[in-house]
Structure 1
Amino acid sequence: MMFKKTSLALLAAFTMLFTNTLHAEAAKVIDAKADVAIEKFKKLVKGGDVFLKKVKGYLVFPTVYKGGFFVGGEYGEGVLRVDGKSIAYYNIASASVGFQFGAQKRSYIFAFADQYALDRFMKSNGWEAGVDGSIAVIDWGRGIDISSISYEKPIYAFVFDNKGLMANVALEGTKFTRIVPH
């Protein structure tokens, strides 16, 4: 009985956490948060500035919340930039079941190194990692310059600014959906 009450309480808290995300933030707010996330990325990742200039486009999700207690979820809103300009807004969402406990806030940048991959993403009516395309998650160490990536994969993901108690990056099944911010 205690497990059931705890699960229900966590599910209710988790639902409330994401209730405010049912309506997209204003485009200006998403863009401002994305600018801050990009600056953090450039400071944390050697060669990050050069890398972002080389790719065909990139998605910036400045704040993605993830939480779970056996059943988990993740949600955030971001912007697709091509040639440094905001061209569309998206949300990122995923759900999972399994042993998990905690909450976390992090930032993502998904870089499209291949024009075909970017075009497919932009034309989709809901894109799912692992189904509509694969994403290479980059694990960089201090001092490694990422501007030297050889672009063997069409899409690269960077996870940074982790804050919280959860530590895993599984993008399979993560969905990206275009939104219209107010």
Structure 2
Amino acid sequence: MRDADTALGQARSVNPGFDSIIRNAPGYAVFPTVGKGGMGIGGAYGRGIVYQRGVPIGFTDVSQGTVGAQIGGQTYTQILVFEDTHALDRFQKGNYEFSAQATAVALQSGTGANAQFRDGVAVFTMAEKGLMAEAAVGGQKFSYEAFASR
């Protein structure tokens, strides 16, 4: 969980406008590190934490298989922001998937964080390292596992 909290802090420091988006969201998922690579055929994977109103409630995994013009590898942070409780509930049911047209907003210093919701979810990314000539999030699949009751 520490990695997710650190990634969230970095996103807030890179783009202060992002803080208000997170504070007003009913939930969000933070993937501190998503690794992606490919040479014609590629894939991506990352493990993250789902938060409801700022409280961690479960684990989530993202995976993606891609085919097409791509070469290289990269790691990046990805944050999903849920527009309403209905979108968060759908995500928690598991087997959630982005359409092929899904896009992400890159969080960069000096630019405004504009939430572009599609089907109740906005996606933000921050590059960690590496270069890749393809950065679409379409086709990503997510699973969800609630924390065990204590």
Aligned residues: 147
1:40-72, Cα deviation, whole Å (9 max, x unpaired): 100111212221100110000000000111110
Instruction: Determine the structure 1 residue equivalent to 2:16.
Output: 46
Show the counterpart of 1:160. 126
Q: Which runs of 5+ in 1 are unaligned?
A: 1-30
Please, what TM-score do these two structures have when normalized by structure 1?
A: 0.71
Cα separation, 2, equivalents of 1:150 and 1:174: 17
**Preserved CA contact (<8 Å) 2:29 2:50:** yes
Look up the equivalent residue of 1:161 and give its one-letter code: A
Report the CA distance shift for 1:169/1:88 in structure 2 as closer, same or farther (over 3 A): same
Q: Does 1:112 align with 2:112?
A: no
Query: Where is the helix percentage greater, Structure 1 or Structure 2?
Result: 1
- Distance change >3 Å, CA 156–CA 140, structure 1 → 2: same
Match of 2:26 among 56, 76, 94: 56
TM-score normalised by length of structure 2? 0.85
Q: Kindly tell me: are residues 117 and 179 of structure 1, through their superposed partners in 2, closer, same or farther at Cα, counting changes over 3 Å?
A: closer
Rg larger in structure? 1
CA shift, 1:135, in A, is: 4.9
Alpha-carbon contact 1:135-1:156 (below 8 Å) kept: no
Equivalent-residue separation in structure 2 for 1:39 and 1:119 (angstroms): 25
Unaligned runs of 5+ in 2: none
Other structure's SS at 1:43 match: helix
- Structure with bigger strand share is 2
Contact 1:72 1:97 in 2 (8 A): yes
Contact 1:56 1:115 in 2 (8 A): yes
Regions of 4+ moved over 4 Å: 139-142, 148-153
Do the aligned residues in 2 keep the contact of 1:138 with 1:157 (CA within 8 Å)? yes
Letter in 2 for 1:129: F
> Matched residues in 2 for 1:37 and 1:157: separation?
14
Identity value in percent: 33
